[in-house]
A and B are shown apart, each in its own frame.
Chain A
Amino acid sequence: MHNVRIIARLDVKGENLVKGVHLEGLRKLGDPREFARRYYAQGIDEIILIDIVASLYERNSLLHLVERTTSDVFIPITVGGGLRSVLDVQKALRAGADKVAICTAALKRPELVREIAGTFGSQCMVVDIQAKRKAPGQWEAYFDNGREHSGRDVVEWARQVADLGAGEILLTSVDREGTAKGMDLELIQKVTAAVPIPVIVSGGVGSAEDFTDAVNVGKADAVAMAHVLHYNHQTVAQLREHAIARGVPVRRFDSAA
């Protein structure tokens, strides 16, 4: 089986790394660059950097931060938050992003996914899907950090963006985000089974067990974590050891390599 990716998710507001509950109620944690460097040294597989207010205020304060955060971290970096056009994506890539995560702008105009994939390649196009449970076995795609609803069914939307040329999906459970109470495994199962592209799951990891459940039960291709890492509940090495104990293949990493 292919190695599952362990990803650190850095939600930023202005120049600060923040952490909230249900994507709201924010607390400042520090300089995202320091966190990125720490996780890189620990052997994190990728980093996702999301400006969680950019989309709300229709502005983009992210580029400077991306440039600073990525300058000496030699692993893939995904950047999201407020990117609305092919030009915005180009700016993010030029600032040091390898991929972009798009949520609001894709919901407003799905064709943007095809345009970005066509211009920069599918490998660069991650669609950020914020899922909120509406009924048993049913989720709706939200935007603006889970504040606004789109009326779209999450599984249908996931299929559609895969058809439009997205290379990956970042699936966040709005209900579980920041709660550290475990992931929405049913949601993860539904989406991973529905699309042929890799799915990164996010929202609710409070323990190493939650991470391996997302893979073993949910069939996630990658797990993005914030809370457990930022608060030092788990190091990347501990997550990796736990994964191996649970039969989840992960990248071999020696800090001396």
Chain B
Amino acid sequence: MSTVGLVDYGIGNLLSVARAFEHEGATIKHVHTPEELRSCDRLILPGVGAFADGMKGLWSRDLVEPLCEYARAGKPFLGICLGMQMLFDASEEFGEHQGLGLIPGRVVAIPAVGIDRRPHKIPHIGWSPLTLPPERSTWESTPLQGIRYGEPAYFVHSFTAAPKHEPDRLADCHYNGVVISAMVARGNVFGAQFHPEKSGAMGLRIIRNFLAL
């Protein structure tokens, strides 16, 4: 079955991601260097924690340009959580920080109040249903193929990506009425704000779909 590169840039915990992909039959290869990255045909950029730390981890390992090259080569690329946020142009988390710029848009704080103007808990933690964004007509031929509208996935985050172009939104969710970009897609580049590796059977299905792209 397919070999998947898992970018290891010194941040967060790769074990859960590796286990979930291995459960679906993938062989995981940890990627630390530009050379290792260039040999991949399928790539995951995981990550939790702060945006600036994540980008620093990529810069210090000279992985930023190789990641962009990889994405331009048209091969399947999935960013998870912070890994999705880093696909964007920039983030406002603890100051202004530049991202990979693979998907136009910015990463901003989740609004501190719900749609009813009442304060809600931050981080957004828990299982939120995925919905089809207004500009999308289907999840066919994407990692969400076969997932039912309204199927919940596990989220934990305080910041959220705001794609500049509506068609880049693959799935949304709502946190007390606030629209959150749950998944993005631009060609071969995908990002999931939720954790497929922690979303039970539906998450494993998404991983299986990604492996079949």
Least CB distance, B99 to chain A, in whole angstroms: 17
Interface residues of chain B: helix, strand, loop or mixed (majority)? mixed
Q: How large is the interface on A (under 10, 10 to 19, 20 to 34, 35 or more residues)?
A: 35 or more
* Contact indicator B123/A122 (Cβ below 8 Å): yes
The interface bits of chain B over 188-213 (1 if a CB of A lies within 8 angstroms of the residue's CB, else 0) are 00000001011111111100000000
Least CB distance, A172 to chain B, in whole angstroms: 18
* Contact indicator B121/A196 (Cβ below 8 Å): yes
The interface bits of chain A over 193-217 (1 if a CB of B lies within 8 angstroms of the residue's CB, else 0) are 0001110000000000000000000
The interface bits of chain B over 23-59 (1 if a CB of A lies within 8 angstroms of the residue's CB, else 0) are 1000000000000000000000000111000000000
Q: Which residues does B use to contact A, with CB under 8 Å?
A: 12-13, 15-16, 19-20, 23, 48-50, 119-129, 148, 150-152, 154, 156-158, 175-176, 195, 197-205
* Contact indicator B203/A197 (Cβ below 8 Å): no
Q: Which residues does A use to contact B, with CB under 8 Å?
A: 1-5, 40, 43, 45, 70-72, 74-76, 93-98, 120-124, 167-168, 196-198, 221-222, 251-253, 257
Partner of A71, one of B19, B157, B203: B19
How far does the alpha carbon of A212 sit from the alpha carbon of B49 in the complex, in Å?
A: 32
* Contact indicator B152/A96 (Cβ below 8 Å): no
A71, A74, A75, most chain B CB atoms within 10 A: A74
Interface residues of chain A: helix, strand, loop or mixed (majority)? loop
Partner of B125, one of A43, A167, A253: A167
* Contact indicator A74/B197 (Cβ below 8 Å): yes
How far does the alpha carbon of A40 sit from the alpha carbon of B199 in the complex, in Å?
A: 11
* Contact indicator A74/B204 (Cβ below 8 Å): yes
A residues in contact with B23, CB < 8 Å: 72, 74
* Contact indicator A120/B48 (Cβ below 8 Å): yes
* Contact indicator B198/A1 (Cβ below 8 Å): no
Select from chain A the residue with minimum beta-carbon distance to B150. A252
* Contact indicator A2/B128 (Cβ below 8 Å): yes
